[in-house]
Amino acid sequence: MTLAAPRLLLDIGNSRLKWAWQAAEGSGECGVVVHGGDPAAALPSFAPVQPTEVWIAHVTGNDSEARLGAAVRDRFGRAPRFARSAANWRGLRNRYEEPGRLGVDRWLVMVAAWSEQRVATCIVDAGTALTVDGFDADGRHLGGIIGAGLLTQQRAVLGHTRFATRERGPQYHDGFGTDTETCVSQGAMLACLGAVDRALAATGTAARRLITGGDAAVLLPHLARDWEHRPDLVLDGLRVLADDR
């Protein structure tokens, strides 16, 4: 598809909004902002030009979607297109009995991967939640897992215990912790790594391995080799669907 003017792509997660411009010659400027629970209010900060289309993938619920739609119409004078999970896409088949209940971010990373290579694939999205999905070489979605992400786990432990802790950033390494703070951060790290390893085994250890999300760069050094870091994989899937509409 040839675009006369830029298309704006928005990937809205639980805490961050990622955006990218897509023009006739391919991808353009992109970036990320923390939306603080109100992604609609973040729109003016990164959109200096008028797009021909606005495509949105979000996991923030129906009320947020209504506000986003109104904000896009006010800001750009056009209604956005919202990506939805589907039962299938060009041979990729959603395993959910109710396909629309699969998180659209999980669907889009699979669409992106399937559009590139039709091989067995395991995809990790490490953010507020840790999700893993797999599909086989025939495009059959094997299912997935949803768990708490690195920081979510640490906040849960510290918020439900009487540990005396100090304010410090997470300290991740390959061994045990030697103080309460690093013990908690190591527990979260090992839980995430264990979930990824088990999910990969269920997909097949020969599967292609992709990792995305805000904590991907933290987990990646502690994973076995052959994992490919794809920070914009949700946007890549959104771009594929927009081109293929």
Please identify every residue annotated as catalytic. 105
The tokens describing 227, both together, are 């994992």
Q: What is the distance between the alpha carbons of residues 235 and 31, in angstroms, rounded to a whole number?
A: 11
Q: Is there a contact between 121 and 113 (Cβ–Cβ < 8 Å)?
A: yes
The tokens describing 60, both together, are 């923030």
Residue 12 vs residues 85, 207, 244: alpha-carbon distances, Å: 15, 28, 21
Nearest to 241 by CA among 11, 13, 5: 11
Three-class DSSP category at 183: helix
Q: What is the distance between the alpha carbons of residues 69 and 66, in angstroms, rounded to a whole number?
A: 5
Q: How many CA atoms lie within 13 A of 124 on its CB side?
A: 30
Provide the edge-to-edge strand list for the sheet that holds 81-82: 26-34, 16-23, 7-12, 53-58, 81-82
